[in-house]
Amino acid sequence: MVHAISLPPGCYGGHEVEQLFTNQLDWDQHPYFESIRGMTVSSHFYIRRQGELQQFVSIDDRAWHAGLSSYRGRSNCNDYAIGIELEGAEGGPFEDAQYETLTALCAAILARYRTADLAGHEHVAPGRKTDPGIGFDWCRLQRSLGLPPERFPEGTCS
């Protein structure tokens, strides 16, 4: 499951996302953080703008990235989905280096879990979440992985 995150929103390059995922964020550091104070969230992976990959949770363990969610008839996506956060803004563009890292990571995950589908947070929690949003190029990811459109959310690529 692909997500987009930046803390504060639209700011890149800091350590606030890692601090959030490791329960070390200083809630008083920025006024925006008051709106997410106490939030406990984690992701399996985080890909920075330059393509740097960080892992926070083993793919064999549950991460808390999906929230209330359902995809293709299965609810509670945290129980079975692997969360990949891209440093970015919801709906904004992503960097070539991020797509390269994401493609390599997805290929490795798909080699281990051959039946996996790919989706965004917006597809498992429609109306509640909008990331990664219109700036994410699903067709580019599909072409890079060489997968059929059926492995992606309906309408994202043909």
User: Which H or E run contains 4?
Assistant: strand 2-5
The catalytic residue among 18, 52, 85, 154 is: 85
* 122: annotated active-site residue: no
First to last CA, the chain: 19
8-state DSSP, 15: S
Question: b/e string for 6-43 if b means 16 or more Cβ within 10 A?
Answer: bbeeeeeeeebbeebbeeebeeeeeeebeeeeeeebbb
**Which positions are annotated as active-site residues?**
85
